[in-house]
Amino acid sequence: MSDTNSPQDWTTLSERIAKHVENYLNGLNAVARGDGGTQTVSLLLLEVSQIILAGAQLGASADVILPDNWEPEMGDDPDLDAVRTGLAERLVTVDEYVEVFDPYKDTEPTAYRLSDDLVDVASDLVHGLRHYQQDRPLEALWWWQYSYFNHWGNHAGAALRALHAVVANVRLNVSEEIAGEVAAAAEEVAATAP
């Protein structure tokens, strides 16, 4: 992206981000339906990694400023509860995990659910995609960038670390004893979470 931030630059970036968003949403829906089979976690790791790449592009870009500093009304975004439920069913053994949400401000781990994080990301992305599909690429970029810094970037990063941990533990053949200790620690943290 050039330093000029011309309308053409924004249009090119919005097209690139929209493709990432559509791929993420399609992949998430497929996994929620059960299409991932035994590769569910690995496929989600790939999907989250790809959307984090899009987020990094947004983070590395200049601030997107709307001309009137105003977002057009679009109505309610689609309900993603069926996707959340489908993901929770597929991830039942690894859905809950702990995370230090902000490594510079938080000192205690907090319990999270992968299914919630993945759908929170999707919800923010869908909102921007609706702008994009209504020929408002600048509004789409503004929303994706704003929500990346404010919300979905943190959830995607946390989900990526959790998914990576699951895949790494399986691939590195972590002993059952260590895996049991990790699970017990996660349960203890979850039990003390507000």
Q: Please tell me the pTM assigned to this model.
A: 0.82
In this predicted structure, what is the pLDDT of residue 3? 45
Q: Using CB atoms within 10 A of its CB, is residue 178 exposed (0-12), middle (13-18) or buried (19+)? A: exposed
CB of 34 within 8 A of CB of 86?
A: yes
Per-residue pLDDT tens digits of the chain, which is 194 residues long: 444 456 568 889 999 999 999 999 999 999 999 999 999 999 999 999 999 999 999 999 999 988 887 677 777 888 999 999 999 999 999 999 998 767 788 788 888 999 999 999 999 999 999 999 999 999 999 999 999 999 999 999 999 999 999 998 887 875 565 556 656 655 655 555 55
Task: List, in sequence order, every beta strand (DSSP E) within the chain.
Answer: 96-99, 110-113
Per-residue tokens: 130: 């609706």
Give the Cα separation of 15 and 2 in Å (integer).
Answer: 16
97: helix, strand or coil? strand
Walk me through the domains of the chain, giving residue ranges and CATH numbers: 7-192 (1.20.120)
In this predicted structure, what is the pLDDT of residue 82? 97
State the CB neighbour count (10 A cutoff) for residue 175: 9
The residues that bridge with 110 in the sheet, in sequence order, are 99
